[in-house]
Chains A and B, each alone.
Chain A
Amino acid sequence: MSPPALPAAFPPEAKARLDKLRPLYPTERALLLPALHLAQKHWGGWLPEEAILAVAAELALPPAEVYGVVTFYDLYHERPVGRHRIRVCTNVPCMLRGSAEVMQTLGEALGVEEGEVTADGRCSYVHFECLGACEQAPMMMVDDRYHGWLDAEKVKKIVEGLD
């Protein structure tokens, strides 16, 4: 990673939130996951290099340490994602109730492969491990919301409803 001339600043709303959390933790480093969540929201759902540098500067951590944490967790993205992010659970309970059909329907409805972003930047979708809502199998997560008891029709409707 070659650092840009001026690293982008950590957004002020996010800074304010961190300031509220700071007294609850004995180390600055403990704020790293919250800071990355805030940064990812600010930077459009993923963490470009400037976001990582901004977080590193905010918490006075080496960028490499921040990067190492980013790569460990499935919810942090190092590449651009769609404006809407779809995560389809394909673990055993959802598999037993038809997650393959959900994946297939998404591929057809969006016309892209898993992990790719649609040309208009609207959507991307990936398979995911158990999302903790197996009673609604098959299910998926669209941005922050869970959608369960899916079938091909429902999946198409949900996708059509995204702006």
Chain B
Amino acid sequence: MPNIGFLGEPVLLKNVGKPAALTVDGYRQGGGYQALAKALAMQPAAVIDMVKASGLRGRGGAGFPTGNKWSFVPKEAKQKYLTVNADESEPGTFKDRVLMEEDPHQLIEGSAICCWAVGATVCYIYIRGEYVEAGDILERAIEEAYAKGILGKDVLGSGFELDMVVHRGAGAYICGEETGLLESLEGKRGQPRVKPPFPAVVGAFGMPTVINNVETLCCVTHILDRGPEWFKAIGTDERNTGPKLYAVSGHVEKPGTYEVPIGITFQELLDLCGGMWRGPSGDGPARQLKAFIPGGASAPVLTAADRHIKLDFDTLAKAGTMLGSAAVMVMDETASMLQVAKRSAKFFNHESCGQCTPCREGTNWLEVLLTHAAHGEATTQEVDLVPQVAKQIGGNSLCALGDAAMMGVGPIVEKFRDEILAEVRAAATHAHGNGNGRRAALPVLQGA
């Protein structure tokens, strides 16, 4: 069973560790598929209004209001699609895997409700290729749902026809970007499209398409079940509502998936995780917090001084960072911020699809500069070049990966500049014994 924790009543994670819920009957025993039945008895527009009223915002990264997104889909189009974004490749994020492995019918139900609301008759669940087990579990659940009349020609006897299929990706972070995902689904390289047109109007195979994250659709199931007022009552305010999954990793005692009201403070979340790590032996003193990244590798880093910040969309945006996928990565006093910055830069460089020059070349430069720095072969000016290069990428590229590289790498160097410069000097002393951080020639990074 995966590591999980709660504050308050578990809703999204209530079936974790209950293998019975993997079957239709077991899932029904916990009240499953009542929400879908309820939705099918309503007008589609009323379902959309209900989701709007709940204040639900997308859990995939951008926090876009889900009900609004659904209402952009043109009513008259002949063929419409739902594409579930189960690509989950943002470093630090693993909540969707838990949802799919432990409670596949919750996702199937939420997806079916969305399809009814927008008039989609085919649902593709685009899952990252590495999630072999989650994909297999979903396929088995879908097969049973067809056999029990929940999917197929006549959904729950309503006359609504719906097909659902698991589509496996093949290892590319950019396919989590919604238009990269569509390209990939169509059998192409996952290179993002120019927007507009937005997928709600021109999406998969040229047709109107809703793209939602796994957790977003799981929330929909419960909004239909319990009503928008219930959902709205949880959270910080009417713009930050509902239960939320936080994937906590790094230097905490109990990394795992935590379901709490959106807007919990970082410190409260840390306490739920058993506090800071005590080291591999488990009996050392809890270490000191140095930094945390609240929303995956794409989100600007925060420091120990920010520990009482509320982890919701708007509070984090005001603080210059973002909730993103709510992947909270925690770093203690032993973490090398230079290594963290370098590893993230390497990630963005590897994952840039290469279409836009600022992103393709800029992410490469970030990795080159930080690799030199880690070898003690960068000057102070070169370290300071990192945030400058980062700012040339963000806003100058086609998709949000460029912005993510800017936000995920630059602020680490800005906020931990002194520490990083000291590390560069220490590495230089180690390598050359002179300690002034200068090197003869700029080495060329292999494979760059």
Contact = CB atoms under 8 A, between A and B. Distances in A.
Interface in A146-162: 146, 151
A118 interface: no
A33 B170 contact: yes
Contact of A135 (B2, B165, B185, B347): B2
Nearest to B97: A132
A93 B91 contact: yes
Contacts of B97: 132-133
A39 B65 CA distance: 40
Interface residues of A, number: 42
B280 A151 contact: yes
Contacts of B165: 21, 24
Interface string A70-94: 0011111000000000010011110
A29 B188 contact: yes
B179 interface: no
B343 interface: yes
Interface residues of B, number: 59
A68 interface: yes
B12 interface: no
A19 interface: no
B351 interface: yes
Interface string A114-142: 00000000000000011111111100010
A31 B165 CA distance: 12
Contacts of B249: 93, 96, 134-135, 137
A136 B4 CA distance: 12
B187 interface: yes
Interface stretch (B67-75, B110-118, B126-134): B126-134
A133 B94 contact: yes
A33 B343 contact: no
A95 interface: yes
A37 interface: yes
B173 interface: yes
B434 to A, nearest CB: 27
A31 B187 contact: yes
7 contacts: A68-B189, A74-B170, A91-B343, A92-B92, A93-B91, A132-B130, A137-B255
List the 10 shortest-distance A-B pairs measured between CB atoms, nearest first: A74-B171, A32-B187, A73-B170, A75-B171, A134-B249, A93-B249, A130-B91, A29-B187, A144-B132, A72-B189
Interface of A: 21, 24, 26-27, 29-34, 36-37, 68-69, 72-76, 87, 90-93, 95-98, 129-137, 141, 144-146, 151
